[in-house]
Amino acid sequence: MTDIRFHEMPDGRRIAFRHLEGNGPTLVFLPGYMSDMAGGKATALFAEAEAQGRGCLLLDYSGCGQSSGDFADGTLSRWRDEVLALVEANAEGPILLVGSSMGGWLMLLVAEKLGERLAGVVGIAAAPDFTRWGYTDEQRSTLANGSAVYEDNPYGPEPTPTHPGFYADAERQLRLDKEIAIDCPVRLLHGQRDADVPWEICMRLSEALRSDAVQVTLVKDGDHRLSREQDIALLKATVASFY
């Protein structure tokens, strides 16, 4: 296993990451909300990259995993800038972005900044604009008024928080209701039994992307995580198509 290293941001935040140098575009994995680089999909892709001699970059957003910072300070734009800083500092040449859930929203923001370096984009249960379609009017009002919202967490004992700072920033990062200026090949994977992100969001995203090279794969019995053995195999095969 490649050792975890730390990248220091200008304000002193220390961002934990793992990096492999290798052939082809460097795969950059963007975890979901409150997730980190120790997750099953991230570690599977890293191991595959190591076995195939490919470049790969994993990271923990500030306030997550082994990175410093308070999760309550996290926003899409803050995490986007962290990803871009790590790419600039560690990876040369083309970049392949792989984003899971919220990471599928973040990958759009990163992709727009990478320009000609962008080799491709892979979304796994991508959740762009979830602050619009994923909350009730009452929850959105609570957030807009400066208070946090807490929801039941199906993946752990503690409730999942959404902080007003994240919400305010997210309102400036909405993408589904306009053309998304991404022209590279895009692959979108989504389970049709996803209880967190409706698979119809995947279809809306495919329509909003400017690229014509968009392929959508729906997994009829797949859930939100898409982390079963057959789901990981599909993800690996999808990634391999870019090499």
CB 82 within 8 A of CB 174: no
Q: What's the mean pLDDT in 199-204?
A: 98
CB 123 within 8 A of CB 202: yes
**Tens-place pLDDT, residues 89-125:** 999 999 999 999 999 999 999 999 999 999 999 999 9
CB 140 within 8 A of CB 110: no
Q: Which residues are catalytic?
A: 101, 194, 224
**pLDDT at residue 2 in the model:** 67
CA gap 176, 205 in Å, rounded: 6
With 80 as the cut, is the pLDDT of residue 191 above it? yes
The residue type found at 21 is: E
**pLDDT at residue 153 in the model:** 85
Q: How confident is the model at residue 214 (pLDDT cuts 50, 70, 90)?
A: very high
Q: What is the CATH number of domain 5-240?
A: 3.40.50.1820
Greater confidence, 196 or 2?
Answer: 196
What percent of the chain stands above pLDDT 70? Answer: 99
Q: What's the mean pLDDT in 153-170?
A: 92
With 60 as the cut, is the pLDDT of residue 1 above it? no
**Tens-place pLDDT, residues 25-57:** 999 999 999 999 999 999 999 999 999 999 999
What are all long-range contacts of 132-139, with beta carbons under 8 Å and residues at least 24 apart? Answer: 132/174, 132/176, 133/198, 133/201, 134/196, 134/197, 135/162
CB 84 within 8 A of CB 110: yes
